[in-house]
Copies of this chain bind each other. A is one copy, B any other.
Amino acid sequence: MIRFIVIGHRAHTTGDFKLDDICGGAGRIDILCRCISSAFFLSHYIRKNSEIFLVLQNGDDAPKTIRLNGLEIKYLNPDERSTASLIRNALLKKIDSEEVKASPGIYISKMSFSDIMQKLSKECRFIYLRENGVDIRNYEFPENPCYILGDDMDLTTDEEAILSSYPYDRICLGPLSLHANHCITIVHNEMDRRVTK
């Protein structure tokens, strides 16, 4: 399984935003939608071996984490509006301490970035995408990679401290700094090339 954790620093957890206003009122949920699209879509298929965790950090009941699993997911289209609708639907679910299924392949919980890291640390190797990392083309991929990305903001000092409490690798994708969804596309492309060699 190839995993991505994307931190939505300003993303609203309440689900009361309008689908016409996912950039502003929803706190840049448009970015998270594009990350979902890059994580899952091939030309004619869904990447079943992909999973993405979106950590929404803005709201009275923040944080919330939405998990999308490629093996189970249904009703996913590549456009932002319909994806935002799936996210909003998940955010409107009542949740307590356990993760809740919102729709096929989409789950919501009260997990924080720290909680997810702890949970995944048993089986994943964390990979942080940074300009000063090892070139992805020279990187030997672990069996269960988990890539950590910010939305349009870098990880905060506190988030980097959480990451640093686990073993992780630091890789870069090229000479220029890219949007999170573009990073996911390039990561997948490099891994596609290795698998089929």
**Cβ–Cβ contact A178 & B20, under 8 A:** no
**Cβ–Cβ contact B185 & A78, under 8 A:** no
User: How many monomers of this protein are in the complex?
Assistant: 2
For A30, list chain B residues within 8 Å (CB): 78-80
Residues of chain A from 27 to 82 with CB closer than 8 A to chain B in the complex: 30-31, 34, 37-38, 41-44, 77-82
A20 with B22: in contact, given A38-B182, A81-B80, A174-B192 (CB under 8 Å)? no
**Cβ–Cβ contact A193 & B174, under 8 A:** yes
Closest to A30 in B: B79
Chain A 11-34 interface 0/1 with B at a Cβ cutoff of 8 Å (1 = within): 000000001101100000011001
In the complex, given contacts A43-B179, A175-B195, what are 6 additional A-B residue pairs having Cβ atoms less than 8 angstroms apart? A30-B79, A43-B176, A174-B192, A176-B192, A185-B186, A186-B186
* Nearest 7 interchain pairs by C-beta: A43-B177, A175-B196, A30-B79, A182-B185, A185-B185, A80-B80, A174-B192
